[in-house]
Amino acid sequence: MNKMTQMTKRLLVLFAALASATVLAACNSPTATNTEEPATEQASEPTEPIAVTEAPEVEPASEAVATDNTDTTATPTATEAEGENIVAIASGDSTFSTLVAAINAADLAEVLSGEGPYTVFAPTDEAFAALPEGTVEDLLKPENKDKLVQILKYHVVPAKVLSTEIQPGAVETVEGEALEISVNPDTNEVLVNNGKVIKTDIVGSNGVIHAVDTVMMPADPVMMPGEEQ
């Protein structure tokens, strides 16, 4: 009997130990679930404000680019140039800087800025540079103004003649003498006396300019001081 009683006691102790282990395991399981939930909440919280603050910053940058592009549409220069007279056009073209200086020295700027119409066979700077050394300097002197006026007027026709309207033959100038115009049938080059027209139809409000590569001299020019007849 004593042996049975001892075995029974041992079994009861074993059952009691197993029961307490089960209770402890059950108590520990909710703490594991509690630690996982706050971890997921902390990870999701910072993502919301980042998405909200970045989205509106892109809009002002694109608006500034669009504004810059609309400001670059300013090209009315060709329309404005059409209202300029032939002296103003020549003054704005570096090709005719010597011619403009001669026009001013001869006091013809006001005349050639008038109503017109005029056709100017305008010598380029290279054409003036091809004259004998010292010629341009002498022509620009006040004492040689009459000769300069005569030479410049010899390049002006008192009518507006576009390149499509040029015909071979003699055409009277403002100076009084005629220019002889010819057209090369092979190349269609226009020659004025011995000068070649190298650029045509520079149109102004009171006429047209045709650039030539030669300074034409009247047949009977006014003599400069010191020249022999």
- Separation CA 202–CA 208 (nearest Å): 5
Both 31 and 92 in one domain: the answer is: no
Given 17, 44, 71, the domain boundary residue is: 71
The number of angstroms, rounded, from the C-alpha of 77 to the middle of its chain's C-alpha atoms is 11
Residue 223 lies in a domain: no
Both 205 and 94 in one domain: the answer is: yes
Per-residue confidence in pLDDT tens, the chain, 229 aa: 455 556 555 655 555 555 554 444 444 544 444 444 444 444 444 444 444 444 444 443 333 333 333 332 222 333 334 579 999 999 999 999 999 999 999 999 999 999 889 999 999 999 999 999 999 999 999 999 999 999 999 999 999 999 999 999 999 999 999 999 999 888 889 999 989 999 999 999 999 999 999 999 998 655 554 555 4
- Separation CA 83–CA 85 (nearest Å): 7
Residue 228 lies in a domain: no
Q: How many domains are contained in the chain?
A: 2
Do the bridges between strand 118-123 and strand 190-192 make them parallel or antiparallel, or are there none, so unpaired? unpaired
Amino acid at 53: T
Residue-level pLDDT at 219:
83
Strand, coil or helix: what is 9? helix
Given 18, 41, 71, the domain boundary residue is: 71
Both 47 and 145 in one domain: the answer is: no
Determine the structural domain holding residue 160 and report its residue range: 82-212
- Separation CA 51–CA 61 (nearest Å): 18
Both 118 and 61 in one domain: the answer is: no
